């Protein structure tokens, strides 16, 4: 049920949440159900977890003990949401809940498509100039039921919390696999009382992802791939257990930097180390995906660093970037809708590494550097 309980009609023995979410891969979120309320926990390894009591609208406040007695209570379904990351908009769009968005951080950075068009048509206001800088007064004036925070490090969010507005950390970026990250859409479903829709969407993504991964797993060759880009003399290379490398291995490739860079994040790595281990890689991906200017050809890349010419992948024309869905006045859709479409990203990558397995396919996010 998604509407409020009418006055005088509350039944303490009734389960008000017919659809329930469970998390199978995501490790930084948990939910439990208690007839008229849910307990949502957002965890982070190096900091205390956040816990919220999500109370069905119209239900009386339950008797809460222990840590729950201090937990913020949010009525659900949440009707007014402030989104602080461009990655959150595609999820809300997928769940048909853009009408709940009362404010966004940096509307101009949302990829120009149906979701942004809908927000602009409703004159949805922006309340920030960057991920780390928000207009607190403006955000509070929007009177959101909840703020979805892209970073807990923004000090202004503490002022928002002091005003009585719950701020929930969106920790999908801490997940180390594409499917676990996409599974965070269930968190939005929990807040919106749309668990059924969120689970159905995620199950479809999982099915399609698994089918493509199975194709790639049966490939006879496993080309090596260098992933990462150079910024100010250092390469940012994803570790062997990272979100991006999981994409590559599921697409039937091997990590050229596996001996040098471990862990689940992107590590600043000396160029000499990169050229030692990555110069012979069959493919080079994501070398330009975060730059302010897009490479339109090899000359653009060489202007940034002439040493790129020493990379085998560069010499053989096997350089690909997820820059197909970008525009001068907008963000890169790979880092927006790509978060909730890992099946499409995987299809792109499998096509790149094993085109014979993806005959007739056209990449959605990736384009080859000519």
Say if CB 296 and CB 271 are below 8 A apart: no
Helix (H, G, I), strand (E, B) or coil at 247: helix
Give the residue from 148, 171, 203 where a domain finishes: 203
Mean pLDDT of the 202-210 span: 99
Q: Are residues 349 and 256 in the same domain?
A: yes
Q: What percent of the chain has pLDDT over 70?
A: 95
Q: What's the pLDDT at 2?
A: 55
pLDDT single digits (tens) 44-87: 766 678 999 999 999 999 999 999 999 999 999 999 999 999 99
Does residue 355 fall inside a structural domain? yes
Helix (H) / strand (E) containing 24: none
Q: Domain check: are 254 and 360 in the same one? A: yes
366 contacts 356 by C-beta, under 8 angstroms: no
Any idea what DSSP says for residue 126?
Answer: B
- The answer to whether position 18 is within a domain reads no
CB 38 within 8 A of CB 54: yes
Examine residue 45 and state whether it is found in any structural domain, yes or no: yes
Q: Could you tell me which residues come within 8 angstroms of residue 293 by beta carbon, excluding any fewer than 6 positions away?
A: 300
Task: Please tell me the total count of domains within the chain.
Answer: 2
- Domain-embedded: residue 209: no
Contacts of residue 11, defined as CB under 8 A and 6 or more positions apart, other chains included, come to none
Place of tokens 């404010």: 103
Whole-number average pLDDT of the chain:
92
Say whether both 122 and 154 belong to one domain.
yes
Can you give the CATH number for the domain in which 339 is found?
3.40.50.1980
Neighbours of 309 (CB within 10 A): 11
Q: Which of 152, 177, 203 is where one domain is finished?
A: 203
SS3 215: helix
Q: Whole-structure pTM over 0.85, yes or no?
A: yes
Write the CB contacts of 354 (distance below 8 Å, at least 6 apart in sequence): 215, 216, 219, 221, 251, 252
What is the full DSSP assignment across 163-226?
A: TT--EEE--GGG-SSHHHHHTTHHHHHHHHT-HHHHHHHHHHHHHHHHHHHHHHHT-S---EEE
Model confidence band, residue 130 (pLDDT cutoffs 50, 70, 90): low
Q: Are residues 173 and 251 in the same domain?
A: no
pLDDT, average across residues 238-249: 94
| Of 100, 118, 91, residue with least CA distance to 186 | 91
Quickly state the pLDDT bin for 284 (edges 50, 70, 90): very high
Largest CA distance in the chain: 75
Q: What does the pLDDT read at residue 261?
A: 87
DSSP track, 303-361:
HH-GGGGG-HHHHTT-EEES-TT--TTS--GGGTGGGS-HHHHHHHHHHHH-GGGSTT-
At 133-144, the pLDDT tens digits run: 789 999 999 999
Report the helix count and the strand count for the chain, using DSSP H and E. 12, 18
Domain end call among 203, 236, 253: 203
Q: Do 150 and 258 lie in a common domain?
A: no
- Summarize pLDDT for 326-354 with one digit per residue, the tens: 877 778 899 999 999 999 999 999 999 99
Q: Residues 134, 275: one domain?
A: no
Give me the mean pLDDT over the 93-100 stretch: 97
Mean pLDDT confidence for 4-17: 95
Instruction: Domain of residue 143: give its range.
Output: 29-203
Evaluate whether residue 134 is within a structural domain.
yes
């Amino acid at each position: 049920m998604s509407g409020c309980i009418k006055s005088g009609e509350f039944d303490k023995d009734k389960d008000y949440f017919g659809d329930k979410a469970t998390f199978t891969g995501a490790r930084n979120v948990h939910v439990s159900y208690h007839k008229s309320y849910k307990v949502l926990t957002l965890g982070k390894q190096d900091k205390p977890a956040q816990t919220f009591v999500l109370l069905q609208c119209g239900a009386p406040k339950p008797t809460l003990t222990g840590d729950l007695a201090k937990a913020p209570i949010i009525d659900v379904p949440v009707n007014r949401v402030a989104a602080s990351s461009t990655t959150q908009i595609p999820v809300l769009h997928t769940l048909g809940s853009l009408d709940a968005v009362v404010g966004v951080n940096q509307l101009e950075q949302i990829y120009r498509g149906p979701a942004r068009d809908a927000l602009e048509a409703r004159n949805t206001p922006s309340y920030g100039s960057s991920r780390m800088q928000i207009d607190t007064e403006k955000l509070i004036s929007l009177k959101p039921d909840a703020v979805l925070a892209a970073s807990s490090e923004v000090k202004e969010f503490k002022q928002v919390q002091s005003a009585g507005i719950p701020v929930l950390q969106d920790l999908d970026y801490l997940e180390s696999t594409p499917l676990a990250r996409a599974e965070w859409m269930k968190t939005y479903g929990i807040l919106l009382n749309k668990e059924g829709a969120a689970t159905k969407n995620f199950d479809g993504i999982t099915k399609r992802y698994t089918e493509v991964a199975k194709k790639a797993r049966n490939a006879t060759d496993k080309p090596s791939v260098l992933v990462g880009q150079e910024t100010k003399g250092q390469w940012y290379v994803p570790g062997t257990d990272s979100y991006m490398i999981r994409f590559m291995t599921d697409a039937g490739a091997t990590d050229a930097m596996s001996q040098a860079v471990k862990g689940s994040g992107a590590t600043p790595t000396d160029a000499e180390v990169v050229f030692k281990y990555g110069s012979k890689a069959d493919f080079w991906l994501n070398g330009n995906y975060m730059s302010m200017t897009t490479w339109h050809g090899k000359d653009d890349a060489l202007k940034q660093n002439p040493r790129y010419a020493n990379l085998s992948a560069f010499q053989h024309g096997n350089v690909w970037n997820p820059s197909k869905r970008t525009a001068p006045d907008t963000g890169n859709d790979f880092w927006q809708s790509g978060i909730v479409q890992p099946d499409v990203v995987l299809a792109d990558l499998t096509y790149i590494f094993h085109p014979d397995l993806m005959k007739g396919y056209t990449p959605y996010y990736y384009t080859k550097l000519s």
